[in-house]
Structure 1
Amino acid sequence: MPGFKETVQLAWSAPSTHTQQDHSINHKLKATALGLKSWSKSLFSDCKLQLLMALDVILQLDITQESRDLSFEERNLRADLKRRVKGLAALERSRKRQASRIRYLREGDANTKFFHLRVNARKRKNHILRLKHNDGWAVTHEEKDKLIFDHFCQALGRPPPRQLDFNWEALNLTSHSLEDLDLRGGYVIAIDPLQRILEEATSSGFLHAMPGDLTGPRISLYADDAAIFLTPTVHDLDGLANILQQFGEVTGLVTNVAKSSITPIQCSNVDLDGILANFPAVTVPFPIKYLGLPISLGRLKRADLQPYIDKAVARLNPWKGRFLNRAGCTALVKLVLSSMPIFLLTALKADKGILKAFAKISRGMRWACQETVSGGKCKVNWQKVCRPKELGGLEILDLEKISRALRLRWLWYEWTAPEKPWVGSETPIDASDLALFNAATTVTIGDGAKASFWSSSWINGTPPKDLAPLIYVASKRKNRTVRDALEGHNWVADILVEAFTIDHMEQYVRLWDLLSAVQLSPGTEDSIVWTLTPNGCYTASSAYKAQFFPALPCSFGNIVWKPWPPPKCHFFAWLAVQNRLWTADRLAKRGWPHQPSCQLCRCSPETARHLLFECRFSKRIWIAAASWLDCPDLIRCLGAGRSRVLDYWHAIAKTPTSSPKGLRTAIMLISWEIWKERNERVFNNKSSLPLVVMQKIKDEGKDWVLAGAKNLADLIG
């Protein structure tokens, strides 16, 4: 490397004011280190430019060699440049490694974009870099866009003039503004007349009306997926085929009958083969899949939802987890697996077996990067892992709780959007969902036509069934509205009790007194407020967090999640403060192989508390760290007598210092390096002196500062 020997020689021969030999050598080493630091900066700054220039000259010489022989000087230049490229490439590789480490510390597995790029590194990117056109290439987005558009216009051509059109006046459709119309909006306008055509065909007798008491829409449309309900007769099927054919001729949206399917509903006494003779669609029995959801006439079986579990297993391949640390696996579970069943859980009430299967996959990937995992490898109870961070968990979604929170939107929309077509139909709500909804809402009575008398929270924010539970049980009509129940005191007439006890009478009188002050307001609708948000509107997040109300806040949130370390150190601290590290005492409880004594001092039994704070090896590191951090009072916190790691952590964090936030980051850094030293001795049979470990702490601290640990920078300078 050019200038290396000269820089070392100049720094080593610089005059020193020290007279003692050891001080003089120390001065020379410091001067040499500073000189090499300045030399490396100048070298690395030009390294990439020199490398590119050398490669370009070599390329030009290779091109020249194809047409003539190189001269002696040119061959020597090429050989010298090849040797030079090797050195420059090594320097560039070192620079990139350091830069990537700083970026990893800064972003790590907590950054969604960086995380997904890392996990999906082997997946081919769906991006067209360039397109060949005649003798040139289209590289910009505009050029590629125009080239693709011209190609398909030439290949597909323009449709012929339409021979048919709609009778727009008869359809009586809402007019739309065509300004700033996108592709999706244009499709909606084109497909919208189909619903009106089917309604007109039904009213004119061209199609039979919906059987029985069914009053819902005949067709369900979303994008290009359409579900049409039809009476199983030859007349109706031929009429539908004629409508779809003419609709395609007008709009160009032609129905592909070969890809369509027919699912019979209670058609056991109908000759379907004869009816479908002229309609070549495939007959598919229930359950079917529509808009990504399984649909069945009865209760869905476990086998009907198994494809969703198989999809999750295929997505969380174990080989991906092996390239990630524990914090990365946590992000993988939170961002990928937890989001996959959300759509399913919003629309359906999934069986508990399905939820347990998803939780089993999440637990296996989280703790062991496997599809399944035994209980021995799970360091923390899964119910606690799924809690929010302020309650001591990792904020992995509890699927049972989030599914209940998502289902509450059905009840909310029944109140706030009664115009939705599904209102009045059966919804996937159970008694627990209704109880949570009533507890999270307050109803203000207007005319009483919408609120439920027993279930809605309309008496001082409390439902009557909680005020008078015995009367509620005795009532034979529990679905009355407030207006219906109060009219003529119908709620009293509904009470049916064989033995009317004193408790019944007490609750009856109390409820009667409360209801006597209620005055309905005809013409004013009942209103509802969601009490868990400031704006009074439902959110799934607030409904999810409300289900954790019985849990107490944890005492380690500020010291684990507030400091700035890489995500893996957050996870290490989360385990350490709960005494969930695999130290000898916990390995002994499991009956697993272990060394009973501490691997740092080899004197005392190994526990997390002893290893991090009470061991004489660790104390020497903490004493050196007190000097490095300029916190002399820190040493007083290391005395024995504290029973938990969390107690030591709190005591050290309260030490007077210029930067309390920086001190909490430093505590995590020092504990992390002590744990790494312990693992080096256990698994790699390598040991280091306390001074060496302290130097590692200082070097790692500098990297953390470069990566963004501003509070730590305020502490160590």
Structure 2
Amino acid sequence: MLQATALTLDTTLSRKVISPFFLLQYADDTLVFSSAEGHTLRALYLTLQLFQNVSGLTVNAAKSSFVPCNLSFEACNLLMQLFHFQHADFPLQYLGLPLTVTRPTRDCFQPLLDIIEKKLAGWKGRLLSRSGRLVLVSSVLSSIPSYAMSSFLLPTWLVDAIDKVRKRFLWGTNTSGRQKIHLITWNRICLPKSHGGLGLLDFKLHNRALLLRWVWKLYTCRQSLWFALASNLFSARRGCKSPALWVSGGSFFWRDLRSLFPLFQLSTRVTVQSGVDTSFWYDNWGGKPLSFLFKGVERPPKSGMCLKDGLQDALVLLPLPRQLETHSILAMAPTVLSPGRIDALRWRWSPDGRFSVATTYKCLSTAGKLGSPLNWIWSLKAPPSLKLFLYLLSNDRLLTRQQLSKRGIMSQGGCALCDSDLLEDSLHLFFECPFSAQLRLRLHTLYNTPAVVPSHSTKEAVLFFFKGNNLNDFQLTLLATSLYALWLERNNRTFRSSTRAVPTLLEWIMAEARSYFFFLLIRTGAVFFYFTFLS
């Protein structure tokens, strides 16, 4: 990157040059920042020549380029003659990310969408089960944007476009390529499993959790290159060293980080030592930042002072509303400071007090959201497809005739299992239908599983079925398999005109449950024996 104006270039190294250029290296990529002054460019040219002579390595001119900033056409031609590099302009790709001096445009992020679409092109979604697609969305599609999200606050249109791709692949398409019905809202799917979701990443929250690491390093890694660069560019040169007081203008990346400062301050707690490194007004040293108590109120005239100075004049500086809460915060301030010691910062959402993207995302994704008692589903000894089926059943989202009627796809009809005119909803199909009751009674006779289920709602019936009785793992696997078998039987009768009697269905259930249970025992290192006796 070259700045200023270069009129003449020669290859004579000037002795006046002390630090001619600055460079960053990652693997085999080298990024050099230099001014376009003649002596600086001569130093860079001769440095490259010395490196080639000593190491025997040569610079690949075909893969190297220079990016001028505010240079004339003549100066660019001279640079090309001297270095034989290609001429490039912003924006450009560096280490897989767009490098630009302005906010990235749609064209800059298009390669990210292309990578995701390319992944999908190699997957045969219609040949995969819904649980298989869920695994691919969770482990592959959701991880591709993480690198970009750790460096940019992704625009809303890009997040929506990626989510659209994830939704389309998760729910699948029919043979004509049309999108299938979305059974659960996307916001709910992105909740953690402990709160009734499927644990897919919410990109907007994950993006903020990743970017908060940059703010954490500003406060805690003051010997790093990142802190030196940011402080030189944005520090207000005040007595207080807190980044909370740095300027709010600057590049688009810095403005995006500044927008996360209020969230960061609520997520941290300062252990005060000297009081010099902490902002009296913005940082959280007393349970809640003072700036949050007085939102919409004019800030005090000396809000840029450090905590040490602010505590001396606190009563004068804060003749504002909410005095009781203000005095309670001031009462938590240390009465004796320790000059010369650095104020320490603690992350409130991690047990060890250190910043963690995982704990931060978990806190953001569960804030203000009530949990749903569905954790038992994911602890079952059952295949993933069976667990996902139980999740949809517990939320009453299976496409029964009632659900299809609600969506205007078909008129209401009777139950396919008992051939009655009763409305086919999940409660009737799995718990009130005579056919399912007969199957449940057979299981009760053989394995002592519950035979009678209270029929208040589908969710309560499923919860009682699995949690209302003291059952072992194999019994729970049998129950899950029996519900899934009823759903398969209903679909076979509805779409294939194929029927199976209760004894045949019971044999299939026991075979499926045993095969999976034995497979699970083998995978976990257990041993079982199979004996054959000859008569």
TM range (shorter): 0.7 to 0.9
The range that moved more, 351-360 or 474-483, is 474-483
Aligned to 2:439: 621
Aligned to 1:408: 212
1:688 CA displacement: 1.1
Residue 463 (1) aligns with residue 289 (2): yes
Distance 1:606 1:248 in 2: 79
Partner amino acid, structure 1, of 2:23:
I
Partner amino acid, structure 1, of 2:283:
S
Partner amino acid, structure 2, of 1:299:
R
Deviation string 1:589-640 (CA, Å, 9 cap, x unpaired) is 1111366111111211100111111111111111111112124xx2232x5x
Specify which of 565, 583, 588 is matched with residue 405 of structure 2. 588
Residue 326 (1) aligns with residue 130 (2): yes
Aligned residues of 2:405 and 2:412 also touching (Cα < 8 A): no
Task: Report matched runs for 1:361-376 at 5 Å.
Answer: 361-368=165-172
1:279 CA displacement: 2.0
Deviation string 1:649-695 (CA, Å, 9 cap, x unpaired) is 222234555x4433332221110000010111122111111221112
Partner amino acid, structure 2, of 1:449:
V
Aligned to 2:478: 666
Task: Report matched runs for 1:515-554 at 5 Å.
Answer: 518-547=335-364, 548-554=366-372
Distance 1:492 1:272, change over 3 A: farther
Distance 1:483 1:202, change over 3 A: farther
Residue 221 (1) aligns with residue 34 (2): no
Residue 389 (1) aligns with residue 193 (2): yes
Aligned to 1:306: 110
Deviation string 1:291-316 (CA, Å, 9 cap, x unpaired) is 22111111111211111011111012
Aligned residues of 1:556 and 1:646 also touching (Cα < 8 A): no
1:465 CA displacement: 1.7
Residue 205 (1) aligns with residue 16 (2): yes
Aligned to 1:646: 459
Distance 1:663 1:508, change over 3 A: closer
Distance 1:353 1:507, change over 3 A: farther
Distance 1:490 1:261, change over 3 A: farther
Aligned residues of 1:564 and 1:709 also touching (Cα < 8 A): no
Distance 1:375 1:437, change over 3 A: farther
Aligned to 2:65: 261
Deviation string 1:363-384 (CA, Å, 9 cap, x unpaired) is 11111159xx988611100011
Partner amino acid, structure 2, of 1:409:
R
Distance 1:531 1:347 in 2: 23
Distance 2:333 2:279 in 1: 17
Distance 1:656 1:349, change over 3 A: closer
1:336 CA displacement: 0.8
Distance 1:442 1:600 in 2: 60
Residue 280 (1) aligns with residue 84 (2): yes
Aligned residues of 2:13 and 2:42 also touching (Cα < 8 A): no
Aligned to 1:442: 269
Structure 2 counterpart SS, 1:442:
strand
1:480 CA displacement: 4.1
Structure 2 counterpart SS, 1:226:
strand
Partner amino acid, structure 2, of 1:647:
E
1:249 CA displacement: 1.8
Query: What is the count of residue pairs matched by the alignment?
Result: 488
Structure number with greater Rg is 1
Aligned residues of 2:280 and 2:310 also touching (Cα < 8 A): yes
Give TM-score scaled by structure 1 length: 0.63
Deviation string 1:417-446 (CA, Å, 9 cap, x unpaired) is 211111151655445522332222211111
Structure 2 counterpart SS, 1:303:
helix
Residue 347 (1) aligns with residue 146 (2): no
Distance 1:512 1:553, change over 3 A: closer
Deviation string 1:147-166 (CA, Å, 9 cap, x unpaired) is xxxxxxxxxxxxxxxxxxxx
Specify which of 362, 385, 395 is matched with residue 578 of structure 1. 395
Deviation string 1:319-373 (CA, Å, 9 cap, x unpaired) is 4222210111011111111111111111111111111111111111111159xx9
Aligned to 1:685: 497
Aligned residues of 2:347 and 2:355 also touching (Cα < 8 A): yes
Residue 338 (1) aligns with residue 338 (2): no
Aligned to 1:555: 373
Distance 1:655 1:287, change over 3 A: closer
Aligned residues of 2:290 and 2:326 also touching (Cα < 8 A): no
Deviation string 1:172-209 (CA, Å, 9 cap, x unpaired) is xxxxxxxxxxxxxxxxxxxxxxxxxxxxx999523775
Distance 2:48 2:213 in 1: 35
Structure 1 counterpart SS, 2:24:
strand
Distance 1:317 1:272 in 2: 42
* Percent identical: 27
Structure 2 counterpart SS, 1:230:
strand
Show structure 1 runs of 5+ residues with no match. Answer: 1-200, 211-217
Distance 1:689 1:513, change over 3 A: closer
Deviation string 1:485-540 (CA, Å, 9 cap, x unpaired) is 457x49966x8xxxx8xx53837973895488644321110001122222221111
Deviation string 1:253-304 (CA, Å, 9 cap, x unpaired) is 4221221111112335873223432221111111112122111111111211
Deviation string 1:83-134 (CA, Å, 9 cap, x unpaired) is xxxxxxxxxxxxxxxxxxxxxxxxxxxxxxxxxxxxxxxxxxxxxxxxxxxx
Aligned residues of 1:470 and 1:504 also touching (Cα < 8 A): no
The range that moved more, 298-307 or 234-243, is 234-243
Distance 2:14 2:112 in 1: 41
Aligned residues of 2:401 and 2:425 also touching (Cα < 8 A): yes
Structure 1 counterpart SS, 2:345:
strand
Task: Report matched runs for 1:187-202 at 5 Å.
Answer: none
Structure 1 counterpart SS, 2:369:
coil
Structure 2 counterpart SS, 1:393:
coil
Partner amino acid, structure 2, of 1:590:
R
The range that moved more, 670-679 or 515-524, is 515-524
Residue 244 (1) aligns with residue 26 (2): no
Task: Report matched runs for 1:601-616 at 5 Å.
Answer: 601-603=418-420, 604-616=422-434
Distance 1:270 1:466, change over 3 A: farther
Distance 1:245 1:635 in 2: 85
Distance 1:653 1:208 in 2: 71
Distance 2:137 2:311 in 1: 51
Distance 1:207 1:268 in 2: 26
Distance 1:236 1:519 in 2: 52
Aligned residues of 1:262 and 1:282 also touching (Cα < 8 A): yes
The range that moved more, 396-405 or 250-259, is 250-259
Aligned to 2:300: 475
Distance 1:648 1:512 in 2: 49
1:702 CA displacement: 2.0
Distance 1:253 1:413 in 2: 37
Aligned to 1:453: 280
Deviation string 1:206-243 (CA, Å, 9 cap, x unpaired) is 37757xxxxxxx11111111111111244433331221
Aligned residues of 1:326 and 1:367 also touching (Cα < 8 A): yes
Aligned to 1:174: none
Aligned residues of 1:442 and 1:531 also touching (Cα < 8 A): yes
Structure 1 counterpart SS, 2:149:
helix
Aligned to 1:91: none
1:484 CA displacement: 5.4
